[in-house]
Amino acid sequence: MFVLTVDQQRSTSRGDAVPDLIGHLEPLVRRLPGVRLPLERTVGDEVQMVLTDPRSTLMIVLEILRVGGWWIGLGIGAVNDPLPEHSREASGPAFVRARAAVERAKTKAASVPLAVVGGGGAVERTADVEALLRLLGAIVERRTPHGWEVTDLLRPADVRTDGGGEPPLTQREIARILGISEQAVSQRVRTTLWAEEVAAWPLATRLLQEADTWDQA
């Protein structure tokens, strides 16, 4: 199981950003499988969700990093059944680890505000997960608005946040939509490292699944 505990950065100066984050992620959460408890406020400016699907977990993490302004803690492991209606009422090792992870994310010197905590036989695998997620996060955080114009149109339909259901478009179609040349689209794709990011999704998904499986062993 995967528990995300996400805490807002600089809440006193930014104001309450929880409703905006939940609203932004809602179309994506609605599309993704394996969401046991949806994203909701737990206390103050903190939100939490519970998932069973590793790819869905990856997509949510990357989208929160894209939004920016949040510390992300990912806890991997068991949760106590039955799950209650709200995550703030739930318990289990994964919740404890998510809390430890978000606190560690606040203190890490690295630029990507993300930490992952697992347990059991999954400690080494969890470190691999964290390293790869932080690398993907660095790509996402550095993508420019012009880069997102293109990559949003290249994204698979199930991980789009705009509610659209169209399949990924060709670069020619994207050029027509954006009113730029195909060469400009190709340049943006290369600059955004989109192909490299997508190529790493299966590895990240597999590592997440293995960390969860090994924790249960």
Q: How far apart are CA 117 and CA 97, in angstroms?
A: 5
The mean pLDDT value for 87-98 works out to 92
Which of 66, 70, 59 shows the shortest CA–CA distance to 2? 59
- Binned at pLDDT 50, 70 and 90, residue 142 comes out as very high
Q: How far apart are CA 92 and CA 60, in angstroms?
A: 21
In a domain, residue 187? The reply is no
- pLDDT tens-digit map of 184-209: 999 999 999 999 999 999 999 999 99
In a domain, residue 188? The reply is no
Question: 57, 94 in Cβ contact below 8 A?
Answer: no
In a domain, residue 152? The reply is no
Least confident of 40-49, 97-106, 121-130, 188-197: 121-130
Percent of the chain past pLDDT 90, that is, above it, reads 70
pTM: 0.92
CATH for 22: 3.30.70
Domain hosting 23: range is 2-143+194-216
Q: How far apart are CA 169 and CA 157, in angstroms?
A: 10
pLDDT at residue 134, rounded to an integer: 96
Q: Higher confidence at residue 46 or residue 217?
A: 46
Tell me which residue has tokens 């409703």.
19
Q: Is the pLDDT of residue 104 over 90?
A: yes
In a domain, residue 162? The reply is no
In a domain, residue 115? The reply is yes
Q: Indicate the number of domains in the chain.
A: 1
pLDDT at residue 121, rounded to an integer: 67
- pLDDT tens-digit map of 2-25: 999 999 998 777 788 999 999 999
In a domain, residue 163? The reply is no
Least confident of 10-14, 94-98, 103-107: 10-14
Tell me the pLDDT of the chain averaged across its residues: 90
In a domain, residue 167? The reply is no
In a domain, residue 148? The reply is no
**β-strand 35-43 against 70-76: which pairing, if any?**
unpaired
